[in-house]
Amino acid sequence: MSSESDNTTEPTEYQHDDDGGPQPEKHCGHGRGGMGEEVTRKEDKRFITGRGNYVDDIKKPRMLHCEIVRSPHAHARIEDIDGSRAMALDDVVAVLTADDLLEHGLATMPTLMDDTQDVLVNDKVKFQSQEVAAVIATDRYAAKDGAEKVEVEYDVLDPVIGAEEALEDDAPVIREELDDQDDNHIFDWETGDAEATDAVFDAADVTVEEQMEYQRLHPAPIETCGCVADWDPGDDKMTVHMTSQAPHAHRTLFSQVSGIPEHKVRIVSPDVGGGFGNKVPIYPGYVVAAAASYVLERPVKWVEERSENIQTTGFARDYDMTGELAATENGEIKGVKVDVLADHGAYNAAAQPSKFPAGFFNIFTGSYDIEAAHGSLTAAYTNTAPGGVAYRCSFRVTEAVYLIERMVKVLADELDLDPAEIRRRNFIPSDAFPYESATGWNYDSGDYEKALDKALEMADYDHYREEQQRRIEEDADKLIGIGISSFTEVVGAGPGKQCDIAGIEMFDSADLRVNPTGNAVLRVGVQTQGQGHETTFAQIIAEELGMDVDNIVVEHGDTDTEPYGLGTYGSRSTPVAGAAAAVAARKVRDKAKSIAANELEAAEEDIEWDRESGEFHVAGAPERSITITEIAAGAYMNHPGSEEPGLEATNYYDPPEMTYPFGSYIVIVEVDRETGEVDFEKFVAVDDCGNRINPMIIEGQIHGGLAQGIGTAMMEHVTYDDNGNVTGGDFMNYLLPTAKEIPNFDTGHTVTPSPHHPIGAKGVGESPTVGSPPAIVNAVVDAMSHSGVSHVEMPMTPDAVWEALDEAELTLEPSANVDFAFDTSEEPADD
């Protein structure tokens, strides 16, 4: 596929708002709901009135229910499975095991990347709660009762928890069924130029190093995963309603796994209650439900419980990183190194960082003009759930941004430089774009200093620096910390080099049809899970065709009717499908022009399009004008002989490059020295996602993502004990932030359009989750850096913060510690 297609680019045509900030948004002004207008979300009416339609709302006649029997052990060989007691229950219809699936060629399925996973365990369990058998019954309760009666005999093996342990010589081999796999090592990976980087480090005035873990997280969407599979033996067709971020890709996978031809598989993704990356892969439950429906010739529903979702579906992160920076004494960064130990769980769903999607880790040089960079990584299998790639992350960009933004703070402290100033000294200058990084990534556009300046001003930075000093001098109980993150994101997968999956270049699609009465249907290959596509995609069309946003309906999520698309992840919907929508609209506009000429009885060359009024008019005679709506009927009933009837166009958009949104976040915290508790004083987020479609929706995206960033930095962690039991596997133990933990956010923006995107837009959906954790950690560390604290691991619980401070103050001045160290040698005096 070539990128030289008719992807016309006019990105800055309606660049309309460059000064940003908390003041009210300036609109395009035409009021039809086009670019930049705060159109109320079209989808909200059905959500707010309880009329959403989620997978678990779907009920079909004769529908059966599927419950999965899961292993209590993390590593165990299955000796025997006996389903007879379950089958003896009245309402149980079937018990399925790996043997049954094998008969239909469905025993294994591809993971997101590079590996195959058992659908139901064949031989050996590799993580706790792995799928062992399935019970199909006439209702959910019966299925659950049945699952409890399935008897499984296990030979329990030693589990391997933690990547470091997994790579020890005597560690039990988890994937012994694979040829050539006699240990738990998956792959090594390298990027950048080791020699050049070493040279820069050797010559540097100063080098710093810090080890930091990005803990295992879970996307935890409010709606868990599930499906209703319905095999129709009359049409030989499999319809699966499922929680999917990528219905077409899932159709192709389903077809490949099942052998049912692709045109006989229909995937429908109805309303999806949050995805956050969790609904990118397929999971065994989907395959089991489809297999059961095929065998039993009845619809089968499978819907996860919360703990099943957290314990078995794709986790994220679990990167143990060591970062190093080399710099001159005035803080000019010359080189960056990172070494990673990655826990990929029992199956490799995370892929090699040289490939999509994990390849996005290559952005670890961040927003800085750094001469030399080198990265290395080792990945290991462990007896934990597979995953690692996706959680509002742009595929390892989160880890990369955390690394570089934390390291800049470490360097600033080492050199005793202001963390804002050191960033300023190293930013890629705004006139250096397009910019190629030391790891070979091509940044499209950026103006980092502008975003930082704006954030500093909004945060009242100087005031808080003074306040911080005052508290230190007064030896106050509550310390002030100021954290900055000036991150660069990369979204919009994407062009070949970085996004090549088995030779497929990534594109997305839009199919626009204007009806004879002048309203329109836009069908897209991406899938919303709460991002508001039904509104923002309609706004793109409203802008391009001068139509009213209310006259455009956006459809997605049904592979029978939508054009083939690769789905929503890596904040690619706007950069890729949004571009496809704009280009399709421009094709329609081109065709409409000749119809306009016909209707206005003028030559086509004399017809002009006026974006402001949304009309075609005759050059020099603006009163002779016509709208798309008015000419739609003519396109069908009165079309010029030179044109086919109809008014529609399709575009498959193959982006020439990715887009690089960015931002500067400033977090001001108060750290209680007595308790280690952290309070947010101020949270400033300045984002730049190029031209903005709907500022209100963007703000919603930012708020949600910042909340998740706070969860990441302060609360969330999927933990395991030595036996491989998930100890953070439900909402009692996996702490998500609630409204109580979330402060007010001050959001602002700058606008630096993408030069290659048809409407100059970049993605924004993941920026806040990617950008905020390092700002928060930097703030907490900053509160304590005068005591010598250089790092606190996430999640920064009060315990962890208190300990870091206690330890630092002990080393600093032993006598000053009476307040913090518990003295257990004496009973408290009772006076």
User: Would you name the residues annotated as active-site residues?
Assistant: 245, 392-393, 766
Minimum CB distance to ligand CUN smaller for 276 or for 356 = 276
Q: Is 572 in the site for ligand MCN (CB under 6 A)?
A: yes
d(CA 33, CA 10): 20
Which residue type does 728 have?
Answer: G
Yes or no: say if 35 and 14 are a contact pair by the CB < 8 Å rule: yes
The piece of 57-65, 116-124, 151-159, 759-767 that touches ligand MCN (CB under 6 A) is: 759-767
Contacts of 547 (CB under 8 A, 6+ apart): 32, 518, 519, 520, 541, 614, 627, 628, 629
Q: Is 277 in the site for ligand CUN (CB under 6 A)?
A: yes
The piece of 162-170, 506-514, 713-721, 761-769 that touches ligand MCN (CB under 6 A) is: 761-769
Q: Is 694 in the site for ligand MCN (CB under 6 A)?
A: yes
Token pair belonging to 262? 């692709």
Yes or no: say if 66 and 75 are a contact pair by the CB < 8 Å rule: no
573 touches which of ligand MCN, ligand CUN, none (CB within 5 to 8 A by kind)? ligand MCN
Contacts of 668 (CB under 8 A, 6+ apart): 459, 464, 480, 481, 482, 483, 680, 681, 682, 683, 779
Among 388, 546, 690, 711, binds ligand MCN (CB under 6 A): 690
Contacts of 435 (CB under 8 A, 6+ apart): 369, 428, 442, 443, 446
Token pair belonging to 323? 């970062």
Please state the closest distance from residue 279 (CB atom) to ligand CUN, in A: 8
Please state the closest distance from residue 540 (CB atom) to ligand MCN, in A: 8
Separation of CA 519 from chain center: 33
d(CA 819, CA 799): 15
Q: Is 394 in the site for ligand CUN (CB under 6 A)?
A: yes
Q: Which long-range contacts (CB under 8 A, 24 or more apart) does 632-637 make?
A: 632/514, 632/515, 632/516, 632/517, 632/518, 633/516, 633/517, 633/518, 634/595, 634/598, 634/599, 635/514, 635/516, 635/591, 635/592, 635/595, 636/516, 637/516
Q: Is 532 in the site for ligand MCN (CB under 6 A)?
A: yes
Q: Is 391 in the site for ligand CUN (CB under 6 A)?
A: yes
d(CA 354, CA 340): 14
Phi and psi, residue 301, nearest 5°: -105, 135
683 touches which of ligand MCN, ligand CUN, none (CB within 5 to 8 A by kind)? none
Q: Which whole-number Å values give the CA distances from 265 to 181, 228, 229, 780, in the listed order?
A: 35, 13, 10, 51
Please state the closest distance from residue 290 (CB atom) to ligand MCN, in A: 24
Burial 140-164 (b: 16+ CB within 10 A, else e): bebbebbbebbebebeebebbbbbe
Please state the closest distance from residue 765 (CB atom) to ligand CUN, in A: 7
The piece of 585-593, 594-602, 764-772, 791-799 that touches ligand MCN (CB under 6 A) is: 764-772
The piece of 275-283, 610-618, 778-786, 815-823 that touches ligand CUN (CB under 6 A) is: 275-283
Please state the closest distance from residue 532 (CB atom) to ligand MCN, in A: 4
Please state the closest distance from residue 566 (CB atom) to ligand MCN, in A: 11
Count of residues of this chain found to bind ligand MCN when the rule CB under 6 A is applied: 35
Q: Is 390 in the site for ligand CUN (CB under 6 A)?
A: yes
Among 698, 781, 784, 805, binds ligand MCN (CB under 6 A): 698
Q: Is 498 in the site for ligand CUN (CB under 6 A)?
A: no
Bridge partners of 214, per DSSP, are 319
Among 530, 634, 711, 773, binds ligand MCN (CB under 6 A): 530
Minimum CB distance to ligand MCN smaller for 570 or for 728 = 570
Q: Within 329-388, which residues bind ligand CUN (CB under 6 A)? A: none
Q: Is 752 in the site for ligand MCN (CB under 6 A)?
A: no
Report the SS3 class of residue 610: strand
Q: Within 542-571, which residues bind ligand CUN (CB under 6 A)? A: 569-570
Token pair belonging to 658? 């990715």
Contacts of 72 (CB under 8 A, 6+ apart): 128
- E-assigned strands of 677-725? 678-688
Please state the closest distance from residue 245 (CB atom) to ligand CUN, in A: 6
The piece of 72-80, 271-279, 335-343, 541-549 that touches ligand MCN (CB under 6 A) is: 271-279
698 touches which of ligand MCN, ligand CUN, none (CB within 5 to 8 A by kind)? ligand MCN
Dihedral of CA atoms 467, 470, 475, 476 in degrees, nearest 10, equals -30
Residue nearest to ligand CUN (CB): 277
Please state the closest distance from residue 274 (CB atom) to ligand MCN, in A: 4
The piece of 3-11, 98-106, 565-573, 605-613 that touches ligand MCN (CB under 6 A) is: 565-573
208 to 247: interface string for ligand MCN, x by CB under 6 A:
-------------x--------------------------
280 touches which of ligand CUN, ligand MCN, none (CB within 5 to 8 A by kind)? ligand CUN
Minimum CB distance to ligand MCN smaller for 413 or for 766 = 766
692 touches which of ligand MCN, ligand CUN, none (CB within 5 to 8 A by kind)? ligand MCN
238 closest CA partner among 299, 280, 303: 299
Q: Is 402 in the site for ligand CUN (CB under 6 A)?
A: no
d(CA 42, CA 367): 36
Yes or no: say if 535 and 39 are a contact pair by the CB < 8 Å rule: yes
Cα angle, residue 501 at apex, residues 497 and 502 outer, rounded to 5°: 110
Q: Is 392 in the site for ligand CUN (CB under 6 A)?
A: yes
Residue 176 burial (C-beta neighbours within 10 Å; 0-12, 13-18, 19+): exposed
Q: Is 268 in the site for ligand CUN (CB under 6 A)?
A: no
Minimum CB distance to ligand MCN smaller for 215 or for 694 = 694
Please state the closest distance from residue 189 (CB atom) to ligand MCN, in A: 23
Q: Is 245 in the site for ligand CUN (CB under 6 A)?
A: yes
Q: Is 488 in the site for ligand MCN (CB under 6 A)?
A: no
Q: Within 434-453, which residues bind ligand CUN (CB under 6 A)? A: none
Q: Which whole-number Å values give the CA distances from 120 to 100, 292, 305, 605, in the listed order?
A: 10, 13, 18, 65
Q: Are strands 678-688 and 746-749 parallel, antiparallel or unpaired?
A: parallel
d(CA 20, CA 284): 46
437 touches which of ligand MCN, ligand CUN, none (CB within 5 to 8 A by kind)? none
Please state the closest distance from residue 415 (CB atom) to ligand MCN, in A: 36
32 closest CA partner among 547, 615, 532: 547
498 touches which of ligand MCN, ligand CUN, none (CB within 5 to 8 A by kind)? none
Minimum CB distance to ligand MCN smaller for 118 or for 489 = 489
Q: Is 692 in the site for ligand MCN (CB under 6 A)?
A: yes
Q: Is 393 in the site for ligand CUN (CB under 6 A)?
A: yes
Minimum CB distance to ligand MCN smaller for 600 or for 698 = 698
Token pair belonging to 163? 């990547």
268 sits in which H/E element: strand 265-268
* Residue length of the chain: 831
Q: Is 570 in the site for ligand MCN (CB under 6 A)?
A: yes
Burial 736-769 (b: 16+ CB within 10 A, else e): ebeeeebbebbbbbbbbbbbbbbbbbbbbbbbbb
74 touches which of ligand CUN, ligand MCN, none (CB within 5 to 8 A by kind)? none
Burial 292-306 (b: 16+ CB within 10 A, else e): bbbbbebbbbbbbee
713 touches which of ligand CUN, ligand MCN, none (CB within 5 to 8 A by kind)? none
Query: Residues in the site for ligand MCN, rule: CB under 6 A?
Result: 221, 274-277, 392, 529-533, 536, 568-574, 689-694, 697-698, 701, 704, 761-766
Query: Residues in the site for ligand CUN, rule: CB under 6 A?
Result: 245, 275-277, 280, 390-395, 569-570
